Copies of this chain bind each other. A is one copy, B any other.
Amino acid sequence: MHVMIIGAAGMVGRKLAERLARDGQLRGDAIASMTLVDVVTPESPAGFDGQVSLQIGDLSQLGVAEGLVARRPDVIFHLAAIVSGEAELDFDKGYAINLDGTRYLFDAIRLAQQADGYRPRLVFASSIAVVGAPLPYPIPDDFHTTPLTSYGTQKAICELLLSDYARKGFFDGIGIRLPTVCIRPGKPNKAASGFFSNILREPLVGKEAILPVSDDVRHWHTSPRSAVGFMIHGATIDLQKVGPRRNLSMPGLSATVGEQIEALRRVAGDAAVALIKREPDEMIMRMCAGWAPGFEATRARELGFTAETSFDEIIQAHIEDELGGSL
């Protein structure tokens, strides 16, 4: 079994590589090799017995996708993207990487399929940004995609391409519509949604964090651990059961900022909560109003995708995975 992760230097990509290294197998087959790809050098996961190839490559550059597909991975996780804030600021770059890059990859696989019957499992990381306000709560599985950002547009287009290429038999594809990943470890990236993680991650280690929105803002979350679990399940699941509608809204936890804060209080006490500084930001509040409050995710749950059911669990997962198991 040869597994490729494109976008392996990103947060979910890195954790996915670590999980695969730890498991040593996927779908019951031993993982003999991993190819890890990103625009910066990915890290080799610790404790992996197989071969690791680290590749630097930008899918939007001609020939890069063909080079990767020439390695004939059995499973491809495609997580590479530039984030929403950057895609909104740089229209050309967003479309080049998030749309054209994905299409180059899909077409390289299609040509390989037509050449020698190659047909990998392809797991694509999509996003809840494919929907846009006004939104019902919860959002049903059959709700239309009306993104209000270029990033969301690009993800929605890639979902459509994925379904069509899968329908034509070019690959065994599945699209995983990820909730906002919380608690993100490390430093904030350019995502405007960073505060959802900051207000928990920073106080857990005694640091201040800024909350730019009101406590009643409701959003849709999943832990990094569950996000990785969705990817693994997407690589494993019987696609006959999924049928032609290949893009699934993942389960997650719908919670308000106030509920996040109360979970922090239960886990880390009043002193931690006191480190959250309220500094309302009109721009972020306006953006928030368009974000998804939560999904039904009925199909994904029925297909065996699972997620946390309380923010206490999400915080606990962070303490175990990032803070050595205790505060």
**Which of A's residues lie within 8 Å of B, judged by CB?**
91, 132, 141-148, 150, 153, 156-157, 160-161, 163-164, 167-168, 244-245
A167 to B147, CA, bound (A): 10
Q: Is the CB of B244 within 8 A of A148?
A: yes
Q: Is the CB of A144 within 8 A of B146?
A: no
Question: Contact check: which of B148, B160, B167 meets A145 at CB < 8 Å?
Answer: B160
Q: A153-B161, A157-B157, A164-B153 are in contact. Are A146 and B91 (CB under 8 A)?
A: no
Residues of B within 8 A of A156 (CB): 160
A141 to B160, CA, bound (A): 19
Q: Is the CB of A142 within 8 A of B145?
A: no
Q: In this complex, which of A143, A148, A157, A167 has the most chain B Cβ atoms within 10 angstroms of its Cβ? A: A157
Residue in chain B with minimal CB distance to A156: B160
Q: A144-B142, A145-B145 are in contact. Are A150 and B168 (CB under 8 A)?
A: yes
Residues of B within 8 A of A163 (CB): 146-147, 153
Q: Is the CB of B161 within 8 A of A157?
A: yes
Q: A153-B160, A157-B157, A157-B161 are in contact. Are A143 and B146 (CB under 8 A)?
A: no
A125 to B134, CA, bound (A): 25
Q: How far is the CB of A110 from chain B (nearest CB, A)?
A: 8
Residues of B within 8 A of A167 (CB): 148
Q: How far is the CB of A140 from chain B (nearest CB, A)?
A: 9
Q: Is the CB of B144 within 8 A of A160?
A: no
A309 to B244, CA, bound (A): 34
Residues of B within 8 A of A244 (CB): 132, 146, 148
Q: How far is the CB of A109 from chain B (nearest CB, A)?
A: 13
Q: How far is the CB of A28 from chain B (nearest CB, A)?
A: 31
A144 to B148, CA, bound (A): 16
Residue in chain B with minimal CB distance to A148: B244
Residues of B within 8 A of A150 (CB): 164, 168
Can you list the 4 inter-chain pairs with the closest CB atoms, starting with the nearest? A153-B164, A142-B144, A144-B144, A157-B157
Residues of B within 8 A of A147 (CB): 160, 163-164
Residues of B within 8 A of A142 (CB): 143-144
Q: A147-B164, A153-B160, A157-B161 are in contact. List 8 more A-B contacts (CB 8 A).
A: A132-B244, A143-B144, A144-B145, A150-B164, A153-B163, A153-B164, A156-B160, A160-B160
A148 to B143, CA, bound (A): 17
Q: In this complex, which of A147, A150, A160 has the most chain B Cβ atoms within 10 angstroms of its Cβ? A: A160
